[in-house]
């Protein structure tokens, strides 16, 4: 008997799996319409009124049965017993099964990276996965409470499940390649605003950054990390919209030796989890010219922020650190500063 019951349940499940939502909804509406027509013929006018029927149908068909509405005629009771409840129960079970199947499918797609985020815009994409560094990246991004609220997309080629499933702002997409244009469309590469590239090795990072640099929108900014400084320099020469960083452990060690605490200062400046942190801000294009002296005191007095330097493009290749007080600044320039929290351009009273 248990084997027979199991086979029956599997058969029913297979039939539900094969049914589309359109068919399920159509059959349910058809059953509702048939029930209404039959109850009207039976003279159950109290049940077929516009304000009552839907409530009565759902409560009765789902077997909740509050008892506040029920058929009063012999024919009405017969129709409910033979048509509405038996077929309605089957439809109700079908709806629940289909809903459960859809929810399970969505969760499975999210966990395994089958998700498609082509509808995202102005989002952040992180290419590559490292168990420690990638988790820190996401944690640092989410810790910035005044950041522009952007969706984060983690794109990987590794065989893994969603590592940030509990974070609603982080989506997970598994790709077969970082350089295949059809695959890159799945992460919304053409509409992304910020991109981080840290592949399994420098070669993967190089080819990925080189490929996507031609596919992103003009205002997008790409950051790529390399262990080999020569690859970072080579990519920077060919892709103006890619900001390349490399492992500078040697420089940090020497600086810490000569100036004790230098490595700690660098660590504190880059961390957004506690203490003052490095931020950048683009000055609105409609702001006129002013000097470094004009804005330095404003930032310190009003926002407890210290301006480190001024750059003239997103990659900051021509940044002027600690400029003189009469240094000229204008709209479109980028201010790099240290502050307890991010300062928005709209909050500043520009000179």
Q: Are 331 and 281 in contact (CB under 8 A)?
A: no
Structure tokens at 198: 């840290």
Phi, psi of 3 (to 5 degrees): -65, -45
Distance CA 138, CA 153 (A): 10
> Would you say residue 15 has pLDDT above 70?
no
Q: Mind listing the pLDDT tens digit for each residue in 281-305?
A: 999 999 999 999 999 989 999 999 9
> Would you say residue 116 has pLDDT above 90?
no
What percent of the chain shows pLDDT beyond 70?
92
- The parent domain of residue 299 ranges over 261-347
Q: Are 122 and 193 in contact (CB under 8 A)?
A: yes
Distance CA 136, CA 347 (A): 29
Q: What local confidence, expressed as pLDDT, does residue 253 receive?
A: 66
CATH code, 51: 1.10.287.70
Q: Are 308 and 278 in contact (CB under 8 A)?
A: yes
Mean pLDDT, residues 101-107: 74
Distance CA 68, CA 52 (A): 11
The total number of structural domains in the chain stands at: 3
Q: What angle do CA 207, 213, 219 make, to 5 degrees?
A: 155
What is the CA 125 to chain-centroid distance, rounded? 9
Of 112, 138, 169, the one marking the end of a domain is: 112
What percent of the chain shows pLDDT beyond 90?
39
* Strand-strand pairing, 277-282 and 290-291: unpaired
> Would you say residue 212 has pLDDT above 60?
yes
Mean pLDDT, residues 78-87: 87
Q: What local confidence, expressed as pLDDT, does residue 11 receive?
A: 59
Q: What local confidence, expressed as pLDDT, does residue 108 receive?
A: 78
Residue 256 lies in a domain: no
What predicted TM-score, i.e. pTM, was given to this entire model? 0.65
Region of poorest pLDDT, from 39-48, 300-309, 321-330:
39-48
The order of strands in the sheet holding 306-311 is 277-282, 334-339, 306-311, 320-321
> Would you say residue 277 has pLDDT above 80?
yes
Mean pLDDT, residues 223-249: 84
Of 85, 112, 139, the one marking the end of a domain is: 112
Q: What local confidence, expressed as pLDDT, does residue 1 receive?
A: 46
């Amino acid at each position: 008997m248990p084997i027979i019951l199991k086979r029956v349940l599997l058969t029913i499940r297979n039939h539900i799996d094969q049914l589309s939502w359109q068919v399920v909804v159509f059959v349910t509406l058809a059953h509702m319409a048939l029930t209404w027509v039959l109850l009207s013929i039976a003279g159950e006018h109290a049940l077929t009124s516009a304000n009552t029927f839907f409530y009565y149908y759902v409560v009765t068909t789902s077997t909740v049965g509050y008892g506040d509405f029920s058929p009063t005629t012999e024919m009405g009771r017969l129709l409910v017993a033979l048509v509405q409840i038996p077929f309605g129960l089957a439809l109700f079970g079908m709806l629940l099964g289909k809903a459960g199947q859809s929810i399970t499918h969505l969760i499975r797609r999210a966990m395994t990276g089958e998700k498609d985020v082509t509808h995202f815009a102005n989002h952040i994409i992180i290419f590559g996965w490292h168990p420690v560094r990638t988790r820190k990246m996401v944690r640092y991004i989410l810790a910035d409470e005044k950041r522009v609220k952007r969706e984060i997309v983690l794109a990987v080629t590794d065989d893994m499940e969603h590592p940030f499933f509990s974070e609603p702002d982080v989506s997970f997409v598994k790709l077969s390649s970082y350089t295949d244009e059809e695959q890159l469309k799945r992460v919304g590469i053409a509409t992304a605003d910020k991109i981080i590239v840290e592949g399994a090795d420098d070669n993967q990072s190089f080819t990925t950054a080189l490929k996507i640099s031609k596919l992103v929108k003009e205002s997008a900014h790409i950051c790529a990390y390399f262990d080999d400084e020569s690859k970072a320099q080579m990519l920077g020469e060919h892709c103006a919209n890619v900001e390349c960083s490399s492992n500078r452990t040697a420089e940090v060690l020497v600086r810490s030796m000569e100036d004790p605490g230098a490595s700690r200062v660098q660590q504190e400046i880059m961390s957004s989890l506690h203490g003052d942190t490095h931020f950048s801000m683009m000055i609105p294009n409609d702001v006129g010219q002013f000097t470094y002296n004009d804005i330095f005191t404003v930032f310190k007095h009003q926002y407890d922020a210290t301006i480190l330097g001024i750059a003239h493009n997103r990659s900051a290749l021509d940044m002027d650190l600690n400029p003189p007080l009469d240094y000229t600044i204008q709209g479109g320039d980028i201010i790099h500063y240290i502050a307890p929290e991010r300062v928005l351009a709209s909050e500043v009273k520009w000179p």
